[in-house]
Amino acid sequence: MGAIFGTILAFLFVFGVLVFIHEFGHFFMAKLVGVRVEVFSFGFGKRLFGRRKGPTDYRISLIPVGGYVKFLGEEAFEAGRILEPDNYMAKKRWERFLIIVMGALMNVLLAILIFAVVNMAGVSVPEYLNEKPVIGWIDADSPASKTDLKIDDEIVSINHKKVETWSDVELAIGTKPEKLLALEIKRGGTIFPVGLLTEKDKKYKFDLGYAGFYGKILTQVQMVKPNSPAEKGGLKAGDEIRAINGEPVYFYKFIEVIEKSAEKELEFDVVREGRPVLLRIRPQREGQVGKIGVLQVMKSVEMKYGFIGALNQSLKDCSNMAFMLLDLIRKLFTGQASASKNLGGPLEIASMSYSFFQMGFMKLLWFMGFLSLQLGVLNLLPIPFLPLDGTQIFILGLEGIMRRDLGPKLKQVWTQIMFAVFMFLFVFLILNDIVRRLPHGWKSLVPF
């Protein structure tokens, strides 16, 4: 019961803030250019309750998956009719454009502000992400294992674009599932090309690229179980594992060594509070593998920025996320990505909101910034038949080219098409969220 309540609370907080900021952008710009706002609604459909102040009805509506601002005169009107000065259609096209675009811009600005605040407060990131992309581990039977790549190779570029950190590499690989990539590799002072055919990463429900190589990721002990071999051997939370039996061991190698060494005594080279410590631990057998009773994580570092640095990092983060979103949209339209795997609806957003809520307020704030950026970018795209601001941007652009407004009948038909698309998307996203939680996805709905 607590989880359900928490999910609803987290969803209402996240989505409520995003919708309010978006609609406030429209509202603020409409007031600024002198347009009368008749309705400011959170949600669509039937009015549940609200308050009228001046000419505006501030309301909560039945379907809580968005919101809208209704302006005087934005619906179809008779050509040649004299319009009031505060009528939406009485304003110049550039003024109407500013009203429409301001909602999305407010979401983008909110995302930049949120990421800046998070960066100033401090973010914990795996240490290796900001290091040179030098390979420290290759999964067996992975795309990387089928190439000439070796441990200690440095990745110089991917598809002729220079990469300087593992963060750059993961972005390039993750956005290109099942693609043949051209890598440049540096080995012993020599640079040579390597072709790599990525796969889809099966660990995630979204389509992400998988190569199977990783950096020299140090292992850090997060928790030690009572009476475990690790505790008996003197291992403590916070210890960094550097080597086992005198050989350097990184995150994935650490797991493999432990699992293959049941009942064998191992010598651990550990760094504890900056000092080297030597420990002897004998993994115990659990089933077919060895265990020492620890929760290990990738070594992380706390990154804090001043105001300018936080803002610069925020702009970089937003830019990378925006390009990833645009690339996904391109793949959805060209059939290179699955809509059922990559699109999430209200239930998915609610579930993720609660997950981030459980991790703490700053994590939830980060997730809100992530969603706000996506909402802003999507609404800026001039796609003609989606029920987003981009459709109005497209129409205004078309009218600007023709130097006249479209006729009321055409606009009415266009509105009806958008409503039909909205209902289709709404039903699809709800169903997709439901079947995603079934054991066999959409196949679970097939009775045979």
Residues annotated catalytic, as ranges: 23
Contact, 292 vs 280, CB < 8 A?
no
DSSP string covering 364-398: HHHHHHHHHHHHHHHHHS--TTSSSHHHHHHHHHH
Residues 310 and 328: their CA atoms lie apart, in Å, by 27
Residues 42 and 120: their CA atoms lie apart, in Å, by 31
Contact, 264 vs 283, CB < 8 A?
yes
Residues 225 and 74: their CA atoms lie apart, in Å, by 64
Residues 348 and 337: their CA atoms lie apart, in Å, by 18
Give CB contacts under 8 A, 24+ apart, made by 186-192. 186/153, 186/154, 186/155, 186/156, 187/150, 187/152, 187/153, 187/154, 191/156
Distance of CA 198 to the CA centre of its chain: 21
Residues 262 and 281: their CA atoms lie apart, in Å, by 11
The per-residue b/e assignment along 95-107, b for 16 or more CB within 10 angstroms, e otherwise, is: bbbbbbbbbbbbb
Contact, 314 vs 299, CB < 8 A?
no
Question: Which residue matches tokens 């994935």?
Answer: 252
Distance of CA 242 to the CA centre of its chain: 32
Contact, 380 vs 393, CB < 8 A?
yes
Element counts in the chain: helices (H) and strands (E) = 11, 20
Question: Which residue matches tokens 């601002």?
Answer: 69
Question: Which residue matches tokens 């609404």?
Answer: 379
Residues 178 and 74: their CA atoms lie apart, in Å, by 46
